Structure 1
Amino acid sequence: MRSFLKPLWAAALLFPLQAAMAQTPVYLDDSKPIEDRVEDALSRMTLEEKVALCHAQSKFSSAGVPRLGLPENWMTDGPHGIRPEVAWDEWVQAGWTNDSCMAFPALTCLAATWNPDMSLRYGRAIGEEARYRNKNVLLGPGVNIYRTPLNGRNFEYMGEDPYLASEMVVPYIQGVQSCGVAACVKHFALNNQEYDRFGVDVEVSDRALYEIYLPAFKAAVQRGEAWAIMGSYNLYRGQHCCHNQRLLNDILRGEWGFDGVVVSDWGGVHNTREAAYNGLDMEFGTGTDGLSVSASDAYNHYFLARPFLEQIKAGVIPESVVDGKVRNILRMMFRTTMNPNRPYGSFEDPAHGEAARQIAEEGIVLLQNRDNTLPIRLEKTRKILVVGENAIKMMTVGGGSSSLKAQYEISPLDGLRARVGSAAEVVYARGYVGNIDGSYNGVVSKVDLSESRSADELLAEAVALARESDYVIFVGGLNKNSHQDCEGGDRYDYGLPYNQDRLIEALAEINPRTVVVLVSGNSVAMPWADRVGAIVEGWYCGSEAGHALAAVLVGDVNPSGKLPFTMCTRLEDYHAHALNDSLVYPGVNHREVYKDDIFVGYRWSDKQKKNHRPLFCFGHGLSYTTFEYGKAVLDRKQMTEADSLRVCVSVKNTGSRAGAEVVQLYVSDLKSSLPRPIKELKGFRKVMLQPGESREVEFVLDRTSLSYFDDAKHAWVAEPGRFEVLIGASAEDIRSRVGFELK
């Protein structure tokens, strides 16, 4: 591991200042309160210096104030790894040889761990890498809600449930910021699709906004104490979200008390006046190429650059407006680059690889396991066939701004071969051809995906090998190419691409021990589900993907991941598509109306008839052992709004091997004035149990656990009446119920 050398620029800049002054200025004295330091630094700045802080000076940096020893701000894309360096004014690679990072699992995988401890570990590891590279803002994590499985960017987010996303985002932020790096939570708000993302104006009820789409952001601000927020590209109430009065001024700062920096998404700013008044602090990416005027002067033409400065000088905009922005920026700087106790960070640290592997192992979900197809019994196995392009394709490359130049990436094929060793023969068949271009944004895949054989020839080879193999491991799914799981465009349809269904069905017909591993960040149609032995959701698991997957397949690791979103049989089983209304998705003439309202994910599927139940429900995930739940017990049968209620339930491992179970608590309001979901997730605990071991799991419910948002009152309401607590292993596998009354 290489340690980070303390930078010398700070001493070089500050020495002349300190030598010239008999007393250290307040802003340089870290023993003073941050607010005093902010005001002192602000008082010493010229108007031009203030405005310069509010806009980019390069693709990923903004100016400091060298005269005062205030350093530049440097951003980096996340949230799954630290983006490779790009040129000052262009998106091309800078050509560094020391900017390869650890690729961590995508956030869908992190959410699938249902383990806040893993989220904290993730945040610390990625924060250490950002700090080593001297970045003071990490552009992540993302917490936009999974509304449609077609959204190309769902893999960057934490699923469909606002409570789960809230509980998982808070420790991630705390981990990142413990390294002296600001977590910039994105994309605020209502950025639930990539189609028409720059122009779509979202109309949503206040109730859905507050109950579904804002809670994770609120948790990030109030509990995670995030130091930065990124606006989104889309519009809300006719204003772009990067400078939106309702979202940024009224809610983010007014209702939640946010004191950090609001950063624009790259190219998300559209006019100076709204950017000045409607909550934005730092503008990045306008013009996208950085060269829209000239190579030397492009950034001065940003909306918060020279046009902003000229309007302040003319008295059109008061100087107090820029002062407010600079206070927020300085506050972030004193928390990061100007904090002398900021740790140094680390890079190429084996501990980061270990963290990536364990997160992946905990996040992989065993969806189906007919006749105990898994784990692979190596002692009775002579040949394993691995089929599919995703078994060899590099998945750290591509997907948009989260594309990485990874130090290494273990493919599923290589991971399985390394684990199986000489115990059995592992052979490979391509099976299908997807996208053979393995490069993205200057990063070139190390795998040659060219193929001259026809689809029929590839199918025939795979079927022939399947006939003589003990196991068939098909590794397919999506692939982070355009219109798969990728920024900038949504998927075209719900089915698997590249005619994979045909191949899976042919393999399953030949070999009953066919295991389908889906590498994806979205749900897909599975018309072959009842004909294959096992189905595994393998996510995009980063550098350690192959090792983690192999450990689960052979049983070194007992799977414990649970789905963070609902997997439906058909696209039209999702509420946004069930209405068959283009105005609901993807929008008409840049206008989109969320008529699905609060009934997103399991909140919608719970209301459907039995023949429209999901293929795999929210919270679902199997294990190689079994768990028995006791009866849920309350410490009282009544509570008031000022009380809390304790819920206890025992869980026992009744199988023959150790395993972890996610105990899920849902609350049902049995009678309410406004329509409510049948149940809502309000608690979960992940517990590790040895064979035969039992443990008591405790939850605490309070008023917030019972409340809904009343549009008319603009307030959270806990309505007196009867409620029910449901304890289960998933949204549909409810093991115990107990009722109580709110007085």
Structure 2
Amino acid sequence: MKQLFLVLVLMLSANVSFIFAQEEAVEKQIDQIIDQLSLEEKVKMCHAQSKFSSPGVERLGIPEIWMSDGPHGVRAEIEWDSWSYAGWTNDSCTAFPALTALASTFNPALAHKYGVAVGEEARYRKKDILLGPGVNIYRTPLNGRNFEYMGEDPYLASIMSVPYIQGVQTNGVAACVKHYVLNNQEIWRSHINVQLSDRALHEIYLPAFKAAVEEGDVWSVMGAYNKYNGQHTSHHEVLIKQILKGDWGFDGVVVTDWGSAHDTKEAALNGLDIEMGTGTDGLTTSKENAYDYYYLAKPFLEMIKNGEIDESVVDDKVRRILRLMYRTNMDKTRPFGKKANAEHFQVAREVAQEGIILLKNSKSFLPINPETKQTIAVIGENATRMMTVGGGSSELKTVHEISPLQGIEERFTNANVVHAMGYASGPSVYDNVIPSGLDADSLQQAAVDVAKNADIVLFVGGLNKSHEQDCENGDRKGLNLPFGQDELLADIMAVNKNVAVVLVSGNAVAMPWQSKAKAIVQAWYLGSEAGYALADVLSGDVNPSGKLPFSFPVKLEDNGAHAFDELSYPGDGTDQVYKEDILVGYRWHDTKNIKPLYAFGHGLSYTSFKVNNAAVAITNYKKGDSIQLSVEITNTGKVDGAEVIQIYVHDKESSVMRPIKELKSFEKVGLNAGQSKKVDFNIDVNAFAFYDETQRDWNLESGAYQLLIGTASDKIIKTINIQVE
């Protein structure tokens, strides 16, 4: 046994040495390339040459870098110098579920599978950087871009984003984690100056980015639009120069969001590497290439030439860009990629299945038996509306998108499935929502008439990806459902008591009809296989196992960002103060004792589970220790299913204000009916620390702590007391 161990150690050591030798050889090659580049060529590599590419150096064989919007699929091709689509016929893709759905799976292995598949599609389309994942924190349910992110908890976002990044990058395609940082609303996003405590910054808003760098080894980072403490975040002295490239040791490329650069000297000295989309009309309106007048173009070149900026500054940027190239388009070993194949559609369906959340199920109303002969009324525009289009830069041109209605019709072949639109929203073009032209009263009356004569009503509503709903460059105006859906539901429920509501959205919504609904399903934007995945769950072919990645408040004021004045949200047009501080999401609800409509981590199943035992090996720990916790769980129901065991920590004796509980570990456990399983957790005691503003560092205090074991943030089943020295 000792000999085997020694062999393994030697093999690992040899592998590490080989990797270091490879990296050292690459750095030497980069040195040689930099020596051959003219100053003009170096500067040219630091800014765009088209909407989605930056130039190479033809005379030395250095390729261009090509980027694509993500993170849910590879966007259709854009024209060289406009936002119009190029009209290609071979740029369709697999549309994967939105990242809210991925986060809801609480399944890191599935996140890796998702990343591999979307990375394969990017590689096949000859992309070098895929612009995703998004890990901005869900601070307010009004943020139009929440559907692209991974929820309100920094630990969940960290754990789910790292395998996604690693999966993408197995293809020789750089993931680009975004938007760094504090881009937590779309209104005034280009100029709002965010102010918050250092504690909130480090405990809530930075951890997922830190994990992306230190654990995911992400190759690129996208800056955000907004300001932090008076400086734009895409070229920020503290955020990029000190924290990202200093404290975390990020060795990749920082890319602007499109148009988020604002100053040449700041961009040069504060860590920006590639400037994209700075609002010129490119080749179409100037005698010279207008891209040459970006901040990191001719103005940058002139500052270097006149000695205002040292040439070593551009050398560092070029070094990072070349390093990214050696990982992507100059890596001769990277695979070829795949596009829109059966395997990818299956991954999309699997993520959708596991991401769907059963919020309510009165008297086991769901699943619906597909063998029963009955009339099922499917009501709602979202039953047929395409959701892969719209939403801003993450919109997709997919090979196919199975609608909820199609999925239900194909699965429930013994039923008489009828559809009524019920309401209509009209299309959205940029910031203009065009009226549908349909009569709202007629649509509503037709839906009520259909509901009267149905055995079951499946209302498929929610939001869509139009302006001021779930869409980039605009926030929602309120928490309630739009287009009269709340009133429509009230009328339907007055004539039929067997109503299940399927919410298609990337955000929490108010539910004034919640008590009368027999079942409520949170379905997200589920991509190409949306209708099939939804039918899988409604029929019971798949047992739902998704968990909420953010809290649903009863009313908007119950959310921490909205509990104060307008300076907290949306700001006064210039500044914004995060007055809820570290109490984001369930931290706010728990600490302020405000009952949510549905809590973070909540999600029901068609079976039942029981946590029988929970125990730790010892109860006294010190800094650096790992807590070994075992939890026994049993599927006490009659069907197979999966439950997510969630481990929260409570600090009983803290010298500073701390949340009632904070998520520190979780595990998704699949169990056959009647099966029991022991699940082992290893939890780093250092994770109990808080960011101490007096020390400007993390502080693990001695004292009494509790491990809270549950299946949702409001469903704690076992508590274990421990001591930390």
TM-score range, shorter chain: over 0.9
Q: CA deviation at 1:48?
A: 0.9
Match of 1:14 in 2: none
CA distance in structure 1 between the aligned counterparts of 2:340 and 2:430, rounded to whole angstroms? 23
Match of 1:587 in 2: 571
**Secondary structure of 2:447's match?**
helix
Match of 1:602 in 2: 586
Match of 1:473 in 2: 458
Q: Are 1:613 and 2:595 matched, yes or no?
A: yes
**Amino acid corresponding to residue 703 of structure 1 in structure 2:** V
CA contact (8 A) 2:624 2:686 kept: no
Which residue of the other structure, out of 472, 491, 509, is the alignment partner of 1:506?
A: 491
Deviations 1:14-60 (A, max 9, x none): xxxxxxxxxxxxxxx98962211211111111111101100000000
Match of 2:152 in 1: 160
**Secondary structure of 2:588's match?**
helix
Q: Are 1:645 and 2:627 matched, yes or no?
A: yes
Match of 1:390 in 2: 382
**Secondary structure of 1:322's match?**
helix
CA distance in structure 1 between the aligned counterparts of 2:105 and 2:373, rounded to whole angstroms? 30
CA distance in structure 2 between the aligned counterparts of 1:263 and 1:479, rounded to whole angstroms? 29
Gaps of 5+ in 2: 1-20
After TM superposition, the score normalised by the length of structure 2 is 0.95
Match of 1:543 in 2: 528
CA distance in structure 2 between the aligned counterparts of 1:435 and 1:491, rounded to whole angstroms? 16
Match of 1:15 in 2: none
CA contact (8 A) 1:30 1:339 kept: no
Superposition pairs for residues 138-177 of structure 1, below 5 Å? 138-177=130-169
Deviations 1:44-85 (A, max 9, x none): 111111011000000000001111111000000000110111
Change (3 A) 1:340 1:497: same
Deviations 1:92-123 (A, max 9, x none): 11111000111000000000000001100110
Deviations 1:421-446 (A, max 9, x none): 2x111110011111246x789xxxxx
CA contact (8 A) 1:667 1:705 kept: no
Q: CA deviation at 1:381?
A: 3.7
Change (3 A) 1:654 1:146: same
CA distance in structure 1 between the aligned counterparts of 2:225 and 2:141, rounded to whole angstroms? 19
Q: Are 1:553 and 2:510 matched, yes or no?
A: no
Q: CA deviation at 1:297?
A: 1.0
CA distance in structure 2 between the aligned counterparts of 1:223 and 1:430, rounded to whole angstroms? 47
Match of 1:51 in 2: 43
Q: CA deviation at 1:271?
A: 1.1
Which residue of the other structure, out of 669, 686, 707, is the alignment partner of 1:687?
A: 669
Q: Are 1:704 and 2:686 matched, yes or no?
A: yes
**Amino acid corresponding to residue 104 of structure 1 in structure 2:** F
Deviating more after overlay: 182-191 vs 700-709: 700-709
Match of 1:426 in 2: 417
Match of 2:317 in 1: 325
**Amino acid corresponding to residue 233 of structure 2 in structure 1:** C
Deviations 1:584-634 (A, max 9, x none): 11111410011110000000000234xx30000000000000001012101
Q: CA deviation at 1:452?
A: 6.2
Match of 2:563 in 1: 578
CA distance in structure 2 between the aligned counterparts of 1:94 and 1:30, rounded to whole angstroms? 39
CA distance in structure 1 between the aligned counterparts of 2:155 and 2:22, rounded to whole angstroms? 37
Change (3 A) 1:52 1:502: same
User: What is the number of residues matched between the two proteins?
Assistant: 703
Q: Are 1:121 and 2:113 matched, yes or no?
A: yes
**Amino acid corresponding to residue 688 of structure 1 in structure 2:** G
CA contact (8 A) 1:470 1:513 kept: yes
Deviating more after overlay: 535-544 vs 412-421: 412-421
Match of 1:654 in 2: 636
Q: Are 1:363 and 2:363 matched, yes or no?
A: no
CA distance in structure 1 between the aligned counterparts of 2:437 and 2:30, rounded to whole angstroms? 63
CA contact (8 A) 1:397 1:440 kept: no
Q: CA deviation at 1:548?
A: 0.4
Q: CA deviation at 1:451?
A: 6.6
CA distance in structure 2 between the aligned counterparts of 1:393 and 1:608, rounded to whole angstroms? 39
Change (3 A) 1:299 1:517: same
**Amino acid corresponding to residue 742 of structure 1 in structure 2:** V
Superposition pairs for residues 14-29 of structure 1, below 5 Å? none
Match of 2:17 in 1: none
**Amino acid corresponding to residue 732 of structure 1 in structure 2:** D
CA distance in structure 1 between the aligned counterparts of 2:280 and 2:183, rounded to whole angstroms? 19
Q: CA deviation at 1:371?
A: 1.3
**Secondary structure of 1:317's match?**
coil
CA distance in structure 2 between the aligned counterparts of 1:703 and 1:662, rounded to whole angstroms? 22
Match of 1:96 in 2: 88
**Amino acid corresponding to residue 117 of structure 1 in structure 2:** A
CA contact (8 A) 2:559 2:588 kept: yes
CA distance in structure 2 between the aligned counterparts of 1:436 and 1:324, rounded to whole angstroms? 46
Q: CA deviation at 1:467?
A: 1.8
Q: Are 1:669 and 2:661 matched, yes or no?
A: no
CA distance in structure 1 between the aligned counterparts of 2:261 and 2:687, rounded to whole angstroms? 37
**Secondary structure of 1:385's match?**
strand
Q: Are 1:411 and 2:403 matched, yes or no?
A: yes
Change (3 A) 1:293 1:322: farther
Which residue of the other structure, out of 413, 426, 439, is the alignment partner of 1:435?
A: 426
Change (3 A) 1:292 1:669: farther
Q: CA deviation at 1:688?
A: 0.6
Match of 1:491 in 2: 476
**Amino acid corresponding to residue 637 of structure 1 in structure 2:** T
Deviations 1:505-541 (A, max 9, x none): 1112222220101100000000000001000001000
CA distance in structure 1 between the aligned counterparts of 2:265 and 2:680, rounded to whole angstroms? 51
Q: Are 1:527 and 2:506 matched, yes or no?
A: no
Moved over 4 A (4+): 29-32, 449-453
Which residue of the other structure, out of 15, 29, 54, is the alignment partner of 1:37?
A: 29
Superposition pairs for residues 289-368 of structure 1, below 5 Å? 289-290=281-282, 294=286, 296-368=288-360
Q: Are 1:624 and 2:606 matched, yes or no?
A: yes
CA contact (8 A) 2:424 2:438 kept: no
Q: Are 1:568 and 2:559 matched, yes or no?
A: no
CA contact (8 A) 1:603 1:680 kept: yes
Deviating more after overlay: 297-306 vs 698-707: 698-707
Q: CA deviation at 1:290?
A: 3.1
Which residue of the other structure, out of 180, 195, 199, is the alignment partner of 1:188?
A: 180
**Amino acid corresponding to residue 619 of structure 1 in structure 2:** G
Which residue of the other structure, out of 268, 279, 288, is the alignment partner of 1:287?
A: 279
CA distance in structure 2 between the aligned counterparts of 1:171 and 1:644, rounded to whole angstroms? 22
CA distance in structure 2 between the aligned counterparts of 1:557 and 1:151, rounded to whole angstroms? 31
CA contact (8 A) 1:91 1:289 kept: no
Deviations 1:215-245 (A, max 9, x none): 0000000000000000000001111011000
Q: CA deviation at 1:348?
A: 2.4
Gaps of 5+ in 1: 1-28, 442-448
CA distance in structure 1 between the aligned counterparts of 2:533 and 2:288, rounded to whole angstroms? 48
Match of 1:11 in 2: none
CA distance in structure 2 between the aligned counterparts of 1:30 and 1:345, rounded to whole angstroms? 24
Q: CA deviation at 1:296?
A: 4.8
**Amino acid corresponding to residue 647 of structure 1 in structure 2:** L
Q: Are 1:463 and 2:448 matched, yes or no?
A: yes
Q: CA deviation at 1:310?
A: 1.3
CA contact (8 A) 1:398 1:440 kept: no
| Aligned CA-pair RMSD | 1.5
CA contact (8 A) 2:626 2:685 kept: yes
Deviating more after overlay: 636-645 vs 489-498: 636-645
**Amino acid corresponding to residue 570 of structure 1 in structure 2:** K
Change (3 A) 1:276 1:452: closer
**Amino acid corresponding to residue 55 of structure 2 in structure 1:** A
Deviations 1:245-284 (A, max 9, x none): 0000000011100000000000001111101101100000
Deviations 1:452-486 (A, max 9, x none): 65322222221222122111000110001000000
**Amino acid corresponding to residue 557 of structure 2 in structure 1:** E
CA contact (8 A) 1:403 1:440 kept: no
**Secondary structure of 2:591's match?**
coil
CA distance in structure 1 between the aligned counterparts of 2:526 and 2:295, rounded to whole angstroms? 39
**Secondary structure of 2:707's match?**
strand
